């Protein structure tokens, strides 16, 4: 008889009678099994498949020669129009997934049969503190437990067999608007998790918890707090004095930022955890640190001792962070030969437009090269410190800078293929006109960028610069050679928001595209080999797994998040299906149901308010509502220009009484008066009237 391949760490073969062999149950997913993930190429046990986080699979049954036979094997409806950004896991025959609002599910990975669903019942009002929708980028697995991190800060361990909670802990206090959208990571029995909220005024940190019990282990703050209060009693205490010297003013009143809202990586051999840190809060440096300064540890990679959380080294990629650059994007480990010598490195392509190669043993800068236009820096000095372009720092006069806050590469996961030696990621040629808001005053629990306030000549200049921005922007999937620091190939794509990347030994690169397709490209030259319309743009990271000798590819297709906000804000949003988990295999022929036609856009009610009321509403909308509902009320999570007459009639109750809190629209009664809400409503009606019948060129609904 044929005995299937069984990884040594996963199971043993027991002889029950002569000539009969039966596979024993799989070993638990513990520290040994996670460290040896490469011995099980058919599994996907953690966010990046193994601790290197290369998102590379050795599977090759699906390859460049037969990928054109790929078809849909099964799909699962996720019942949301919100963004779904998670990388699923595949563990011993089961797919574990997490959707918007942290709703987790398990599926039979061969048939798609749903095994269980767990809803942590995240308070919908917490959605307003998520920069870019209530998304979750992944989950973790440890000894029969699925571990999720919720938007409102809980770590919850679920029984992998039935989805029942086993333990739950709160990772942050709720007196500041923290959130969690990144995936929790399990490293040798500890769960490490970061958080978001820099724009809303929080002090970023990472924390570690026992994966068996949820017991707190350590915390490391990523920016200094109020110096007058002394040490925090945290693992970061030993370096906060050094960090504090790089700040000025009273930054601690508004948090400082530096949140680790996505990528966290672990090298078990070195015992180091690598944390990618975020932007400053407020975004504009002169509003948080008026005397400038490097502002450690903003936009850095910080290496911590895994057992204690103590500082080991850091490399700051953007000193004087002023542009909403985050360095929280995919951190990948690789072993490269550089100048004839083997080097253990980190590969990193953060928002700031450069691709970095950094020694992961000590943080030494090796090389960096821009892959998109960069104007904020003029290169690097001999120590690897960026040479800041003083002209990129801005006052109240708009300054055109590249990249803009959308970044040259944002959170969409990058992959590295050790066979080709190339890294693959979605690239964004993005510019932005920055200017200080002269009337800016930070406010708690609100977005505190510190930009804008355009009027008069500044507004005219801003509008002229926007024309240049529109001409220059472009997107692509690129293959990057980290040794030569150059692009190997590039595939242009139509709009920003193309998805995370998976690469395989089949000489393939998989990516969801904003053409509302899932596609496979040849890894060596970028040739498009296969593409399937899927009724949405899959932004999440795909995975591949093997079950009963058959290779599958899985991806979440749920358009949303920051890129969707940009698209909606430009008035160019495409009609899409609600989110789904899609699973493909060779020869499969399942079909998606037809896309339902878009509902007609209702005509707006008459405007009866005065111009003064409308202008007041515009000001309140810009500082309170635009983060979710788009600048100038264009697009957003819900385009308010397209409200029904029924919704218009309920407007005050929705905003003040939380009538639709179940959809994430909490009460704003603590921030707005009834008169404020009337003014905002008048402004929204005026915008709907202005754009009624204006067509796509004006960014309107018709």
Express each pLDDT in 286-307 by its tens digit.
Answer: 999 999 999 999 999 999 999 9
pLDDT band at 692 (very low <50, low <70, confident <90, very high): low
Confidence at residue 568, expressed as pLDDT on a 0 to 100 scale: 59
pLDDT > 50? residue 27: yes
Confidence at residue 25, expressed as pLDDT on a 0 to 100 scale: 64
Give the three-state DSSP class for 106: strand
Confidence at residue 164, expressed as pLDDT on a 0 to 100 scale: 98
Q: Does some domain include residue 631?
A: yes
Report the alpha-carbon distance of residue 221 to residue 205 in Å, rounded.
Answer: 4
Express each pLDDT in 164-186 by its tens digit.
Answer: 999 999 999 999 999 999 999 99
CA dihedral 64, 66, 72, 75 (to 10 degrees): -50
Q: Where would I find the beta strands (DSSP E) of 321-445?
A: 331-338, 341-348, 354-359, 365-370, 377-380, 386-388, 399-401, 415-417, 422-429, 432-434
pLDDT band at 23 (very low <50, low <70, confident <90, very high): very low
Average pLDDT of span 267-293: 97
Q: Does some domain include residue 632?
A: yes
pTM of the predicted model as reported, rounded to 2 decimal places: 0.89
**Number of neighbouring beta carbons within 10 Å of residue 79:** 13
Contact 285, 292 (CB under 8 A): yes
Burial of 490 (0-12, 13-18, 19+ CB in 10 A): middle
Residues 6+ apart with CB under 8 A from 45: 29, 33, 34, 37, 89, 90, 91, 141
Report the alpha-carbon distance of residue 515 to residue 426 in Å, rounded.
Answer: 14
Report the alpha-carbon distance of residue 540 to residue 1 in Å, rounded.
Answer: 40
Percent of the chain with pLDDT over 70: 93
Domain that holds residue 635: 611-698
Report the alpha-carbon distance of residue 365 to residue 254 in Å, rounded.
Answer: 31
Report the alpha-carbon distance of residue 231 to residue 208 in Å, rounded.
Answer: 19
Q: Does some domain include residue 316?
A: no
Mean pLDDT of the chain: 91
Confidence at residue 5, expressed as pLDDT on a 0 to 100 scale: 41
Stretch among 158-162, 194-198, 342-346, 651-655 having the lowest mean pLDDT: 651-655
Contact 424, 523 (CB under 8 A): yes
Confidence at residue 21, expressed as pLDDT on a 0 to 100 scale: 38
Express each pLDDT in 50-79 by its tens digit.
Answer: 999 999 999 999 999 999 999 999 999 999
User: How many distinct structural domains can be found in the chain?
Assistant: 2
Q: Does some domain include residue 421?
A: no
Q: Does some domain include residue 20?
A: yes
Residue 432, strand partner residues: 401
Confidence at residue 22, expressed as pLDDT on a 0 to 100 scale: 38
pLDDT band at 35 (very low <50, low <70, confident <90, very high): very high
CATH number at residue 619: 1.10.760.10
Q: Does some domain include residue 655?
A: yes
CA dihedral 553, 559, 561, 564 (to 10 degrees): 140
Instruction: Name the residue with higher pLDDT: 604 or 147.
Output: 147
Average pLDDT of span 305-323: 98
pLDDT > 60? residue 701: no
Express each pLDDT in 528-568 by its tens digit.
Answer: 999 999 999 999 999 999 999 999 999 999 998 877 766 65
Confidence at residue 298, expressed as pLDDT on a 0 to 100 scale: 98
Closest CA to 44 of 110, 105, 89, 96: 89
Express each pLDDT in 369-383 by its tens digit.
Answer: 999 999 999 999 999
Confidence at residue 543, expressed as pLDDT on a 0 to 100 scale: 98
pLDDT band at 570 (very low <50, low <70, confident <90, very high): low
Residues 6+ apart with CB under 8 A from 651: 643, 677, 681
Average pLDDT of span 189-201: 95
Percent of the chain with pLDDT over 90: 72
pLDDT > 90? residue 663: no
Average pLDDT of span 351-359: 98
Confidence at residue 641, expressed as pLDDT on a 0 to 100 scale: 86
Backbone CA torsion sign across 284, 289, 293, 298: negative
Confidence at residue 19, expressed as pLDDT on a 0 to 100 scale: 38
Express each pLDDT in 428-439 by its tens digit.
Answer: 999 999 999 988
pLDDT band at 575 (very low <50, low <70, confident <90, very high): confident
Report the alpha-carbon distance of residue 272 to residue 303 in Å, rounded.
Answer: 6
Closest CA to 323 of 379, 278, 273, 357: 278
CA dihedral 200, 205, 211, 214 (to 10 degrees): -70
pLDDT > 50? residue 7: no
Q: Does some domain include residue 464?
A: no
Express each pLDDT in 647-658 by its tens digit.
Answer: 888 888 888 888
Residues 6+ apart with CB under 8 A from 474: 429, 492
Instruction: List residues with catalytic annotation.
Output: 324
Average pLDDT of span 242-252: 97
Q: Does some domain include residue 625?
A: yes
Express each pLDDT in 96-117 by its tens digit.
Answer: 999 999 999 999 999 999 999 9
Stretch among 42-56, 384-398, 418-432, 585-599 having the lowest mean pLDDT: 585-599
Express each pLDDT in 446-457 by its tens digit.
Answer: 788 888 877 788
């Amino acid at each position: 008889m044929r005995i299937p391949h069984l990884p040594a760490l996963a199971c043993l073969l027991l002889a029950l009678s002569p000539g009969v062999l039966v596979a024993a149950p799989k070993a638990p997913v513990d520290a040994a099994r996670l460290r040896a993930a490469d011995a099980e190429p058919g599994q996907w046990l953690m966010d990046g498949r193994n601790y290197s986080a290369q998102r590379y699979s050795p599977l090759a049954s699906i390859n460049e020669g037969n990928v054109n036979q790929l078809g849909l094997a099964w799909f699962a409806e996720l019942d949301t129009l919100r963004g779904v950004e998670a990388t699923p896991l595949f563990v011993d025959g089961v797919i574990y997934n997490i959707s918007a609002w942290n709703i987790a599910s398990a599926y039979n990975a061969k048939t798609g049969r749903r095994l269980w669903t767990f809803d942590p019942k995240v308070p919908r009002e917490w959605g307003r503190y998520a920069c870019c929708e209530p998304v979750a980028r992944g989950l973790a697995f440890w000894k029969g437990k699925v571990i999720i991190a919720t938007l409102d800060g809980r770590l919850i361990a679920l029984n992998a067999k039935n989805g029942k909670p086993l333990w739950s802990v709160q990772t942050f206090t709720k007196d500041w608007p923290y959130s969690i959208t990144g995936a929790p990571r399990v490293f040798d029995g500890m769960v490490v998790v970061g958080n978001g909220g820099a724009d809303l005024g929080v002090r970023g940190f990472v924390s570690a918890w026992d994966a068996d019990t949820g017991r707190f282990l350590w915390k490391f703050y990523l920016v200094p707090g109020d110096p007058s209060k002394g040490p925090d009693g945290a693992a970061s205490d030993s370096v906060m004095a050094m960090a504090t010297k790089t700040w000025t003013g009273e930054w601690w009143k508004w948090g400082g930022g530096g949140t680790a809202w996505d990528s966290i990586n672990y090298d078990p051999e070195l015992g180091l955890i690598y944390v990618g840190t975020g932007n400053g809060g407020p975004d504009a440096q002169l509003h948080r640190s008026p005397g400038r300064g490097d502002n450690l540890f903003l936009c850095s990679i910080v290496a911590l001792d895994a057992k204690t959380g103590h500082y080991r080294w850091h490399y700051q990629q953007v000193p004087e962070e002023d542009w909403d650059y985050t360095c929280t994007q995919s951190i990948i480990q690789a072993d490269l030969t550089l100048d004839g010598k083997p080097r253990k490195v980190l590969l990193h392509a953060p928002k700031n437009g450069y691709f970095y190669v950094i020694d992961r043993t000590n943080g030494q800068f090796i090389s960096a090269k821009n892959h998109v236009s960069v104007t904020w820096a003029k290169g690097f000095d001999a120590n690897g410190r960026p040479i800041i372009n003083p002209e990129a720092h801005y006052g109240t006069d708009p300054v055109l800078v590249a990249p803009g806050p959308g970044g040259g590469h944002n959170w969409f996961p990058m992959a590295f293929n050790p066979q080709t030696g190339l890294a693959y990621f979605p690239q964004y040629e993005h510019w932005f006109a920055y200017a200080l808001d002269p009337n800016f005053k930070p406010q708690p629990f609100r977005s505190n960028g510190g930009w804008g306030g355009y009027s008069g000549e500044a507004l005219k200049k801003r509008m002229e610069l926007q024309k240049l921005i529109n001409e220059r922007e472009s997107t692509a999937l690129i293959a990057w050679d980290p040794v030569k620091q150059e692009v190997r190939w590039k595939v242009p794509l139509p709009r920003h928001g193309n998805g995370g990347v998976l690469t395989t030994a089949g000489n393939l690169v998989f990516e969801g595209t904003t053409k509302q397709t899932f596609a496979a490209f040849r890894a060596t030259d970028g040739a498009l080999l296969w593409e399937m319309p899927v009724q949405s743009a899959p932004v999440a990271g795909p995975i591949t797994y093997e079950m009963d000798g058959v290779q599958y590819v899985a991806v979440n297709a749920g358009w949303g998040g920051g890129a969707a906000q940009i698209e909606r804000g430009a008035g160019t949003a495409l009609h899409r299906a609600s989110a789904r988990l899609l699973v493909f295999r060779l020869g499969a022929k399942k079909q998606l149901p037809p896309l339902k036609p878009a509902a007609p856009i209702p005509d707006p009610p008459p405007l009866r308010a005065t111009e003064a009321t409308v202008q007041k509403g515009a000001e309140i909308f810009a500082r309170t509502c635009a983060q979710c509902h788009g600048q100038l009320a264009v697009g957003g999570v819900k385009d308010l220009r397209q409200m029904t007459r029924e919704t218009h009639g309920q407007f005050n109750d929705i905003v003040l009484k939380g009538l639709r809190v179940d959809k994430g629209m909490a009460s704003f009664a603590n921030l707005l008066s009834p008169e404020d809400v009337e003014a905002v409503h008048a402004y929204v009606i005026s915008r709907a009237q202005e754009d009624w019948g204006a067509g796509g060129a004006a960014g309107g609904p018709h």
